Amino acid sequence: MNFSLFANIHKDSNGDFLKQVTTYLKSIGANVIHDEIVTKGGFFDVSKLKNTDMIITLGGDGTLLDMAQKTKNTGIPLVGINLGSVGFLTQIEKRNYEEMLLSIFHKEFDISNRMTIKADVIRNGITINSVEALNDIVITREATGDTVEISSYINGSYIDSYNGDGIIVSTPTGSTGYQMSAGGPVSDPEADIILVTPICPHMMHRQTYVIKGDGLVELEVREKDFVSCYLSYDGISYNIKGNDLIRISKSDLVIKLVKIQKNPFYENLRNKIYYRGN
DSSP symbols for 184-199: PPP--TT--EEEEEEE
Lowest mean pLDDT, pick from 39-43, 72-76, 88-92, 236-240? 39-43
Predicted confidence at residue 277, as pLDDT, reads: 47
Residue 50 forms beta bridges with which residues? Answer: none
Q: How confident is the model at residue 133 (pLDDT cuts 50, 70, 90)?
A: very high
Residues 97 and 151 in one domain: no
Q: Give the per-residue pLDDT at 84.
A: 76
Q: Are 132 and 118 in contact (CB under 8 A)?
A: yes
pLDDT for 124 beyond 80: yes
- The total domain count for the chain is 2
The predicted pLDDT at position 227 comes to: 84
For residues 120 and 237, membership in a common domain is answered with: yes
Q: Is residue 219 located within the same domain as residue 92?
A: no
Helix (H, G, I), strand (E, B) or coil at 96: helix
Helix (H) / strand (E) containing 169: strand 166-170
Query: What is the distance between the alpha carbons of residues 45 and 208, in angstroms, rounded to a whole number?
Result: 38
Quote the pLDDT of residue 275. Answer: 57
Instruction: Say whether both 90 and 7 belong to one domain.
Output: yes
Q: Are residues 248 and 264 in the same domain?
A: no
Q: What are the DSSP calls for 1-69, one per residue?
A: -EEEEEEETTTSTT-HHHHHHHHHHHHTT-EEEEEEEE-SSS---GGGGTT-SEEEEEE-HHHHHHHHH
221 neighbors 242 (Cβ within 8 angstroms): yes
Note whether 257 and 75 are within 8 A (CB). Answer: no
Which residues form the domain of 143? 116-252
pLDDT for 142 equals 84
pLDDT of 274 higher than 70: no
136 has catalytic annotation: no
Report the Cα 211 to chain-centroid distance in Å.
19
Average pLDDT value over all residues in the chain: 92
Does 189 share its domain with 70? no
Contact 231, 240 (CB under 8 A): yes
Q: Are residues 90 and 181 in the same domain?
A: no
Cα separation, 141 vs 167, whole angstroms: 10
Answer yes or no: are the C-beta atoms of 147 and 202 closer than 8 Å.
Answer: yes
Confidence of residue 263 (pLDDT cuts 50, 70, 90): low
- Does 228 score more than 70 pLDDT? yes
Q: Which residues pair with 250 in a beta bridge?
A: 117
Catalytic residue among 12, 61, 136, 244: 61
pLDDT for residue 261 is more than 80: no
Higher pLDDT pick, 157 / 266:
157
Does the pLDDT at position 276 exceed 60?
no
Q: Is the pLDDT of residue 71 over 50?
A: yes
CB 80 within 8 A of CB 90: yes
- What pLDDT is attached to residue 151? 96
Q: What is the mean pLDDT of residues 7-28?
A: 94
- Dump pLDDT digits (tens) for 140-198: 988 777 899 999 999 999 999 999 999 999 999 999 999 999 999 999 999 999 999 99
**CATH code of the domain in which 80 resides:** 3.40.50.10330
Longest dimension (CA), the chain: 60
CA dist 138 and 165 (Å) reads 10
pTM (2 d.p.): 0.92
What is the H or E stretch that residue 114 is in? strand 110-123
Q: CA of 266: how far to CAs of 50, 213, 273, 274, in Å? A: 34, 22, 10, 11
CA-CA distance, 161 to 171, in Å (whole number)? 22
| Tens-place pLDDT, residues 196-220 | 999 999 888 889 999 999 999 999 9
The predicted model gives 3-11 an average pLDDT of: 95
Residue 147 shares a structural domain with residue 62: no
CA 56/CA 88 separation, integer angstroms? 15
CB of 113 closer than 8 Å to CB of 129 = no
Q: Does residue 163 share a domain with residue 60?
A: no
Contact (CB, 8 A) for 78 and 258: yes
Same domain, 190 and 149: yes
